[in-house]
């Protein structure tokens, strides 16, 4: 790409129409050397008009108290059309460029020559055009120096909003989402609005994206260290997936152990201490403790092998989550493992068997179509005020198999309205705390 030398000569002509004509008709003169070919173009302008729209040219045309008759600027060949359009804008307040790429070229050259009004014009024109994934990525991939300019921020914000709304479900548009650039992936995966089953899905997607865009292991590890690891909310991942991270070659051991241990320690804390931890570190750029709107609710599961094969599972439901279950809604938990099988809990808004009133039911089920039957004893407990201790609500025994859920239709023994009332015994700081003790029955 050869450099262009622009010789901007003061025409000393007050007739703007004539000046514009010179801009459009002037042609370059070529000055070549063996090692450094140059294209020299002389453009006649009115320096007061151009300097009024550009701080750069104002400084360049003024040398102390002495005004210069001409100045020379050097640009790349690819910037020629954009510079000519910028000079035209200083006279007409309009541009020849109409396409997103053309307007972006002028925006960049306007930033280079400190023409704020032209930058504002370009930004407004781009915002008025239909947004697509391609144009949104073009805007976000602008140099950080340009993105920080006040008149450009609304354009970047609009691109952010477009991508957030376009990719709320990364599994539905996976192929398109996988083609996003790094700047686009950072916007999408930083969103609290992702409609996903669990954080495990986000991690698997990021892993797949990184392997596609960075096939070299060293580069892939670098992008995880500098970008992707801050987008994954490790404390919300299942323990099974956290174990996979420790053996994943895409991570350096130090990075993997840091985030996995941090997540495990967080999971081990009681809810009130988890809230304190999240409040200490939460900010705009660090949201790893903020839960997204998961389709599957996170659980804390403790597995025991002795004296019996047992799993103790803790599931917390917010008051508004329970409220939104009415009249026939369901909430499913993330999976947890016991006896070589993957199990889950589900909370339902049930109509009592006589069809008179609604109530909260809790059920236990097994994942996987080809799972082996598993005989278990199970007990459901709820933390109750004022002592805030877990109280047993239901016990049962069953041989679990795929497609069947077992449990109780009325977990707390009360109807829907008293269950959700302000003086309800079952919500502590707006949270319903559920514990399920599940033990494998061995013959």
What are the tens digits of pLDDT across the range 53-68? 887 777 777 765 455 5
Q: Contact 113/52 with Cβ under 8 angstroms?
A: no
Q: Which DSSP string do the residues of 260-321 spell out, in sequence order?
A: HHHHHHHHHS-HHHHHHHHHHH-BTTB-TTS----SEE--EEEEE-SSS-EEEEEEEEEHHH
For residues 318 and 5, what is the distance between their CA atoms, to the nearest angstrom? 66
Q: Which DSSP string do the residues of 324-347 spell out, in sequence order?
A: TTTTT-EEEEPPEEETTEEEEEEE
- pLDDT in the model for residue 55: 79
> What confidence tier does 5 reach under pLDDT thresholds 50, 70, 90?
low
- pLDDT in the model for residue 44: 67
Which has more pLDDT, 187 or 74? Answer: 187
For residues 292 and 264, what is the distance between their CA atoms, to the nearest angstrom? 18
What SS3 class is residue 40?
strand
The enclosing H or E element of 212 equals: helix 199-213
What would you report as the CA-atom Rg of the chain, rounded to the nearest whole angstrom?
A: 32
- pLDDT in the model for residue 437: 97
For residues 320 and 144, what is the distance between their CA atoms, to the nearest angstrom? 40
Is pLDDT above 90 for 325?
A: yes
Q: What does the buried/exposed string (b/e) look like for 392-416 if buried means 16 or more CB atoms within 10 Å of the residue's CB?
A: ebbeeebebeeeebebbebbbebeb
Q: CA-CA distances (angstroms) from residue 173 to 155, 195, 206?
A: 24, 12, 14
For 251-287, the pLDDT digits (tens) are 888 889 999 999 988 887 776 677 777 777 765 556 8
Q: How do the domains of the chain map onto residue ranges?
A: 3-164, 167-281, 297-440
Per the prediction, the chain carries an average pLDDT of 85
Residues 6+ apart with CB under 8 A from 156: 139, 140, 142, 147
> What confidence tier does 30 reach under pLDDT thresholds 50, 70, 90?
very low
Segment 158-173 shows an average pLDDT of 95
Overall fold of domain 297-440 = 2.60.210
State what percent of residues in the chain have pLDDT above 90.
59
For residues 48 and 313, what is the distance between their CA atoms, to the nearest angstrom? 75
Checking phi first, is residue 340 left (phi over 0); if not, alpha (psi -120 to 50) or beta?
left
> What confidence tier does 378 reach under pLDDT thresholds 50, 70, 90?
very high
Segment 17-34 shows an average pLDDT of 42
Is pLDDT above 70 for 77?
A: yes
- pLDDT in the model for residue 34: 41
> What confidence tier does 25 reach under pLDDT thresholds 50, 70, 90?
very low
Query: What is the residue whose two structure tokens read 């889950």?
Result: 344
- Asked if the 3-164 domain carries CATH number 1.20.140.10, the reply is no
- pLDDT in the model for residue 286: 67
- Asked if the 167-281 domain carries CATH number 3.40.50.300, the reply is no
Q: CA-CA distances (angstroms) from residue 21 to 6, 87, 88, 184, 307?
A: 17, 12, 10, 42, 93
> What confidence tier does 26 reach under pLDDT thresholds 50, 70, 90?
very low
pTM: 0.77
For residues 348 and 363, what is the distance between their CA atoms, to the nearest angstrom? 8
For residues 352 and 361, what is the distance between their CA atoms, to the nearest angstrom? 10
| Lowest mean per-residue pLDDT among 210-214, 236-240, 363-367 | 236-240
For residues 235 and 263, what is the distance between their CA atoms, to the nearest angstrom? 4
Is pLDDT above 80 for 31?
A: no
| Lowest mean per-residue pLDDT among 108-117, 220-229, 274-283, 410-419 | 274-283
For residues 220 and 255, what is the distance between their CA atoms, to the nearest angstrom? 13
Is pLDDT above 70 for 73?
A: yes
DSSP state of 428: B
Segment 4-8 shows an average pLDDT of 55
> What confidence tier does 10 reach under pLDDT thresholds 50, 70, 90?
low
Other beta carbons within 10 angstroms of residue 171's beta carbon come to 13
Is pLDDT above 80 for 20?
A: no
């Amino acid at each position: 790409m050869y450099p262009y030398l622009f010789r901007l000569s003061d025409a000393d002509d007050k007739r703007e129409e004539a000046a514009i004509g010179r801009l459009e008709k002037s042609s370059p003169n070529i000055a070549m050397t063996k090692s450094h070919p140059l294209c020299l173009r002389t453009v006649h302008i009115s320096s007061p008009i151009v300097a009024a729209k550009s701080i750069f040219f104002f400084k360049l045309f003024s040398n102390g108290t002495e005004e210069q008759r001409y100045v020379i600027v050097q640009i790349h060949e690819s910037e020629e059309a954009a510079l000519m359009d910028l000079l035209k804008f200083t006279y007409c307040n309009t541009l020849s460029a109409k396409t997103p790429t053309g307007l972006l070229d002028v925006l960049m050259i306007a930033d280079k020559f400190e023409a704020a009004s032209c930058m504002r014009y370009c930004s407004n024109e781009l915002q008025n055009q239909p947004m697509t994934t391609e144009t949104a990525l073009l805007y976000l991939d602008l140099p950080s120096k340009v993105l920080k300019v006040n008149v450009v921020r609304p354009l970047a914000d609009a691109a952010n909003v477009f991508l957030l709304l376009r990719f709320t479900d990364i599994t539905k548009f996976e192929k398109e989402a996988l083609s996003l650039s790094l700047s686009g992936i950072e916007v999408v995966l930083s969103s609290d609005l992702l409609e996903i089953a669990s954080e495990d899905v986000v991690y698997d997607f990021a892993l797949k994206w990184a392997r596609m865009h960075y096939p070299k292991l060293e580069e892939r590890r670098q992008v995880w260290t500098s970008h992707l690891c801050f987008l994954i909310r490790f404390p919300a991942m299942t323990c099974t997936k956290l174990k996979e991270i420790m053996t994943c070659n895409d991570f350096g051991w130090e990075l993997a152990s840091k985030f996995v241990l941090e997540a495990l320690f967080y999971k081990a804390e009681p809810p009130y201490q988890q809230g304190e931890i999240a409040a200490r570190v939460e900010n705009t750029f660090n949201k790893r403790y903020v839960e997204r709107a998961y389709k599957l609710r996170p659980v804390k599961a403790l597995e025991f092998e002795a004296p019996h094969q047992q799993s103790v599972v803790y599931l917390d439901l917010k008051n508004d989550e329970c409220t939104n279950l009415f009249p026939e809604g369901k909430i499913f938990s993330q999976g947890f493992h016991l006896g070589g099988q993957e199990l889950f809990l589900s909370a339902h808004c049930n109509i009592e068997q006589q069809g008179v009133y609604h109530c909260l039911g809790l059920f236990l089920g097994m994942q996987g179509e080809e799972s082996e039957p598993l005989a278990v004893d199970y007990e459901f407990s709820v933390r109750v005020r004022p002592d805030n201790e877990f109280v047993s609500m239901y016990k049962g025994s069953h041989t679990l198999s795929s497609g069947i859920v077992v449990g109780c239709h009325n977990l707390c023994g009360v109807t829907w309205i008293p269950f959700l009332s302000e003086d309800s015994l079952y919500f502590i700081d707006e949270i319903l705390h559920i514990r399920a003790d599940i033990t494998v029955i061995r013959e």
